[in-house]
Structure 1
Amino acid sequence: MIVGLGNPGHEYEKSKHNTGFRVIDNLAARWKITTWQHKMDAEIAQTMIDGEKIILVKPQTYMNNSGQSVGPLMRWYKVEQSDVYVIYDDMDLAVGRIRIRKSGSDGGHNGIKSLLANGCTDFIRFRVGIGRPLPHHDVVDHVLTPFPDELIQPYAEGLEAAAIAVEGCLELGVDKGMNRYNPKKKKKAE
């Protein structure tokens, strides 16, 4: 089950907080998925990749209540938590950077807090950087607005990189995928 976090509605479509939805849309386009259904407060699409059923999920509960949809869907489809990939925006990463993790805290992200509160605690995290707001700017305004023109290209590259990383982790397994797609640490000069 591949979950993209975001907010429903046209007014949020291009917001930074809809990063997860945008990566899901990218995957749906790559896999030529056009049929969606509404189930358990989410938009759901299904496909087969290498003989394995893949469920794409865009919760429609608004970001802060994402777990109210994801938890029941995970149980309905009997998906192991370690087979749940969650894609979301992260202010602690530079715009367009991605990072894959097998576990972690909510990092102050309300969508992740909701997943944890609704019994989805051991999922794979695909974080896409949106950068921090400027000093003295509101976090809510930052996540609910689009990027300025000069950041659209690096952000689009991050969305593409996240979709490629999801595909790679499906093919190689999460450990090998993390090795391949996570940014490499720079070695200190001796």
Structure 2
Amino acid sequence: MWLIVGLGNPGKEYEYTRHNIGFLTVDHLIDQTEARSLSSSSFHGELFKSANLLFLKPTTFMNRSGISVQAVKQFYKIELDNIIVIHDDLDLPFGALRFKQGGGSGGHNGLKSIDEMIGRDYMRVRMGIGKPAYKSQVADYVLSSFSKEEQQNLSQWIESAANATLELTKQPLGIVSSKYTIRAKN
């Protein structure tokens, strides 16, 4: 069994923000695999299943994502090696797509929460959202909508991330990384 987690914040006001790129990608995966809902309040999130794949969108808000991930991990007895987290990454330019296993949170509060609850050695699909000019603007930036220019390539980028995520359940990280990495320009 695989657990694929998309990070984001619940609510219409956050739906198409940079911080919700994980939710948007999981939504695409749910549609693509015709997953059915398994949601339960004990999971603290929206949970869907297709074959041996579980898709999770924590509804705890970003800073407490680990609560939801831990609940599903424990209930389904999922190994850390079979967890993939899709998230926004300020340290990568908009449109970049990178992959890694384990590592630090890079200041991402959703990853910090997951690290605290289950450990760090899960796979990550890092979707670059760029960063604002000043560090003091980060909170507003991640909660802002994509620009018109960014929206032009958004669906193609989400599809690439979704396809790569499915490949991670079948192929080693190195193979997926060499095939799907996107190095966007700053």
TM over 0.5: yes
5+ long unaligned stretches in structure 2? none
Structure 2 CA distance, aligned partners of 1:180 and 1:160?
14
The answer to whether structure 1 residue 41 and structure 2 residue 40 are counterparts is no
Whether the aligned pair in 2 keeps the contact of 1:4 and 1:20 (CA below 8 Å) is yes
Whether the aligned pair in 2 keeps the contact of 1:88 and 1:126 (CA below 8 Å) is yes
SS of equivalent residue, structure 2 residue 118: coil
Residue type of the alignment partner of 1:11: E
Whether the aligned pair in 1 keeps the contact of 2:104 and 2:120 (CA below 8 Å) is no
SS of equivalent residue, structure 2 residue 163: helix
Structure 1 CA distance, aligned partners of 2:124 and 2:107?
14
Residue type of the alignment partner of 2:7: L
Cross-structure match for 1:30: 32
Structure 2 CA distance, aligned partners of 1:16 and 1:157?
15
SS of equivalent residue, structure 1 residue 66: helix
Structure 2 residue aligned with 1:5, among 7, 18, 26?
Answer: 7
Structure 1 CA distance, aligned partners of 2:75 and 2:152?
38
Alignment root-mean-square deviation, CA = 1.6
SS of equivalent residue, structure 1 residue 138: helix
Structure 1 CA distance, aligned partners of 2:139 and 2:69?
23
TM-superposed deviation, 1:137 = 6.0
The answer to whether structure 1 residue 174 and structure 2 residue 173 are counterparts is yes
Structure 1 CA distance, aligned partners of 2:173 and 2:142?
28
Structure 2 CA distance, aligned partners of 1:40 and 1:136?
34
Deviations 1:76-128 (A, max 9, x none): 11100010000000011111110010121000100000001112321000010
The number of residue pairs the alignment matches comes to: 180
Residue type of the alignment partner of 2:27: D
The structure where helix makes up a greater share of residues is 2
Alignment identity in percent?
36
SS of equivalent residue, structure 1 residue 45: strand
What does 1:86-105 align with in structure 2 at a 5 Å threshold?
86-105=85-104
Whether the aligned pair in 1 keeps the contact of 2:36 and 2:50 (CA below 8 Å) is no
Structure 1 CA distance, aligned partners of 2:167 and 2:93?
22
Structure 1 CA distance, aligned partners of 2:14 and 2:68?
19
Cross-structure match for 1:78: 77
5+ long unaligned stretches in structure 1? 185-190
Compared CA separation, residues 171 and 97, structure 1 to 2 (3 A) = same
TM-superposed deviation, 1:16 = 0.6
Residue type of the alignment partner of 1:89: D
SS of equivalent residue, structure 2 residue 175: helix
Structure 1 CA distance, aligned partners of 2:135 and 2:35?
42
